[in-house]
Structure 1
Amino acid sequence: MTKASDRPRRSALYLPASNAKAIAKARTLPCDVVILDLEDAVAPEMKDEARAAAIAAVAEGGFGGREVAIRANGIDTPWGAEDLAAIAASGVDAVLVPKVNDAADIARYDAALASAHPGMQLWTMIETCASVANLPAIANCAAGGRLSLWIMGTNDLAKEMRAQLTPCRTPFLPFLTMAVAAARTGGIAILDGVCNEFRDIEAFSAEARQGLMFGFDGKSLIHPAQIEPCNAVFSPSQSDLAWAHSVIAAFALPENQGRGAIRVDGKMTELLHLEQAQRLVAVAGKIAGL
């Protein structure tokens, strides 16, 4: 199955599926991913209505090149089974599921989506203490299944740990590193958790830059004001691209054919840097094509 793991996912905006105006606006926003939320953003008495609205929005389309996911309620909740059945019958790109703890949970979700179209991806939240302890096993589930992306749920993780979610995110730094490393071993894309500071764009940008430093592919968002600064952080800069093109050009010179290390702009540059440069250029091209 195609994982679509190499497409740009710089910005993933959560929207309550019960809010028709928000969904309509999402069709015009420059985010890479739209997540129609049936879980945290929807009150219990609105769950059925939100589910119907999400399915209708997907059927109506109009999201352009944006990837569309629906976040279901957990499989063991009163709404989970109906959510998954409705989503499986839809044409949505992905279903995002919460509170995954281990590989057995992934197997249950894969089974629930057995009738879905072949390209439907399974995305999971990494937001419980148990999931952090089982990252390698969960990552292994990507082989042969629908699992293709993780999103960090730092708010829920903070609640379960009874930890403080400060701007520097000190208690969570080891888990962020572990999650990125495990995701890479499984060929899984991974997005950073939300930043609750939607009015303080500088604070948001600082957290996004921290996520980029850790190796995340992008970040999940709670407000449209966060989209443009997020896209800016997770897009290759002009200086990055200038470096990448110089490395690619240098390795392409006849005198450098077959060499594992060369000097570029006064610095020792190896084949691993060539691979990084080629990826940067490829990512920039895909972003330009959105």
Structure 2
Amino acid sequence: MKLCEGRIAIVTGAGRGLGKAHALMLAKHGAKVVVNDLGSSADGIGQDTTPAEAVVAEIRAAGGEAVADASNVANWEGAKSLIDTAVSHFGGLDILVNNAGILRDRMLINMTEQEWDSVTTVHLKGTFAPTHHAANYWRQQTKDGKKVDARVINTSSHSGLFCNIGQANYAAAKAGIASFSLVAARELQRYGVTVNAIAPRATTRMTEGLGQWTPEQLERRDPEWIAALVTWLASSQSSAVSGRVFEAWGFGYSVAESWQHGPLTEASKNPETLGPEITRIVGEARKNAGIDRDTWMDI
């Protein structure tokens, strides 16, 4: 039996890059897939159904089941329509992979309001809205006495976790997705739903031109390395794993450890006395983690 045999999945932003890899891998392992993609450019401009339709054709040619969907996941009704498509076309929903995203990089002193709003809306609302509607579907299933074994897999980023310069909008949204995933995991466990997130490193149209890669680095940045983890997280085998953020690429998978309580000092209502003790605890605290990791190859 295949890893996701008979399970019904939605993948947003599945027309290209990571989303496409997720959709193909899920279908390969037996899932029926709703391939959602607006078909916009990497900065969110335009709309084209061709990429999603091409992925559906590829899945069907390999003997799988898939349907294309062009709903805007950052739109409340669009997100609801996406969930309804899975239920009406395949008869249910077991897996939601929130992957849709855009980039509009700019140093914050030059960033426009529209560049901030567009990126945070697509990433944050585009994760929240489908999850909200999916969660309500699963909640109703449990109320109807049906067993739910569902998965939400969100897409955070190393930029969100470790703060990349020039991406204040993107990093803020991706950090928000990581925190959202932990909260959602706690709230939805009662309905039989696990929620996890990934922070992937892969070569896609959003990362092309950002570095000079060796052949080995290019291979280790193949989206299939990440899609394999997503497919396992989407399976019934992962039922004990929830509320985690995974760093993922071809050099390995790691559990990203969230904010931790650090050194402590006594509080005071007199700010004039704070200096020595605040200086002490800052000195004792671990430094913030950087975008690169010493034990992995530098990207």
TM-score bin (small chain): 0.3 to 0.5
TM-score (norm 1): 0.38
